[in-house]
């Protein structure tokens, strides 16, 4: 399976309100090396967008929206430690500047 497959599984787990599915998809995605930010932004967030669309059309109600949020929260609990582990590898840069003559 590819990283794309895991993104689809993450999305589907949220859309289907599947707690077991999100645990499995998030863990496997991290195990095969899917970037944590990508798993969130391209996997779980689109699933929440689908939930929002379903709420707008009346197919889902507030209760399903709340459950979907809890499903995403469960997935985030698995993914967040990988974000923290990755952050030490990233170089950070801060630039501080002022317009010439404005700092007087």
- Asked whether 26 and 75 are in contact (CB, 8 A), the reply is yes
CB under 8 Å to 94, separation ≥6 — which residues? none
Reading phi first (left if > 0) and then psi (alpha if -120 to 50, else beta), residue 101 is in left
60-103 confidence digits (pLDDT tens) = 999 999 999 999 999 999 999 998 755 555 556 667 666 676 65
pTM (two decimals): 0.78
Report the distance separating Cα 20 and Cα 4, nearest Å.
20
Domains in the chain and their CATH numbers? 3-87 (1.10.1240.10)
In whole numbers, what is the pLDDT of the chain averaged over residues?
Answer: 88
């Amino acid at each position: 399976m590819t990283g794309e497959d895991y993104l689809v599984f993450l999305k589907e787990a949220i859309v289907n309100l599947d707690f077991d599915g999100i645990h499995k998809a998030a863990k496997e995605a991290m195990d095969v090396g899917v970037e944590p930010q990508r798993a969130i932004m391209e996997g779980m967030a689109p699933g929440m967008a689908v939930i929002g669309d379903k709420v707008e059309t009346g197919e889902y109600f507030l209760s399903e929206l709340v459950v979907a949020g809890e499903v995403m929260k469960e997935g985030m609990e698995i993914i967040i430690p990988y974000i923290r582990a990755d952050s030490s590898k990233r170089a950070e840069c801060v630039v501080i500047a002022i317009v010439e003559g404005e700092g007087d």
